[in-house]
Each structure stands twice: as C-alpha cells, then as structure tokens.
Structure 1
Amino acid sequence: MNKIPESGFLRLRQIIGNKQKGEQGFFPVSASTWWKGVKEGRYPQPCRSLGQRITAWRAEDIRALIESASAGGNN
C-alpha cells in the first residue's frame, strides 16, 4: 500500500482501493459505503474545487479519518 502524502488530494480509488484490480486502499470499504458515510458525515466531504468532473479529498482529511478509526473512533 502506498503512503498517504503529507498534503495534496486523493481520488476515491486511492482511498478505498479497487478490488477488481487487486489494489488495496487506505480505508478499504465499498464505494457505496463510502458515499453513504460522506452523506451521513462519518467520512470527510470531497473538495470539488479541482474541476467540474473531478472529485477528490484532502490528504489531511483522510489521514485524520484513518487515525480516528484506528484509535477506536466510529468509521
């Protein structure tokens, strides 16, 4: 698994992985589970300022989510 960058942005497949291609993500849940979590506020909101058709999340937000989950927080 790759390391989360100090800053920058991550696309969804980098975060959750891609089981069909055998790629492991940083937070391995299904895409539908991820989007449900975003809607419910359990997962960070995407940053949509990158472009009209580009959805990405701040690396800092994903790192905080992983740290929270590993510390026993809700995921």
Structure 2
Amino acid sequence: MDALTAFGLFAVSAMLVTYALESRSDGWILAFAGACLLGSAYGFLQGAWPFGVVEGIWSVVAARRWWLRRR
C-alpha cells in the first residue's frame, strides 16, 4: 500500500466514523466537515476530480450544518 492509498483509507474511514457520531455532539459535525476536506484532497491527488469536487461540497454542507446548530 502506497502513501496516497493509506491517506485515502484514513480520510474515508474518518468520514465514516465522524458521520456515525454526528448525533452525539456538534463537534462531530465539524470533524465530519474536516474529514470531507481530507477526502476531497485525496480525490484531487489521485486524479479523480469529480470525487474531489463532491467531497468539497459535502464539506461545505457539513460546516454549514455545524454553524446553524451552534446558533
């Protein structure tokens, strides 16, 4: 397994875990947004730009959800 694949595995695993824990606190929503950013970076680094774009959008959606819940 090369470094890029390991990074992608970490990013997607972090997305899964943080998404599953979102209902426990607002911090997990923000962590999910960060994990989506990692997933987006992975998509662009491996050359799958559609995946990178979609994960970037998910990051913005999650950050907005976090912002609205904290208000």
TM-score for the superposition, normalised by structure 2: 0.29
TM-score for the superposition, normalised by structure 1: 0.28
More strand by share: 1
More helix by share: 2
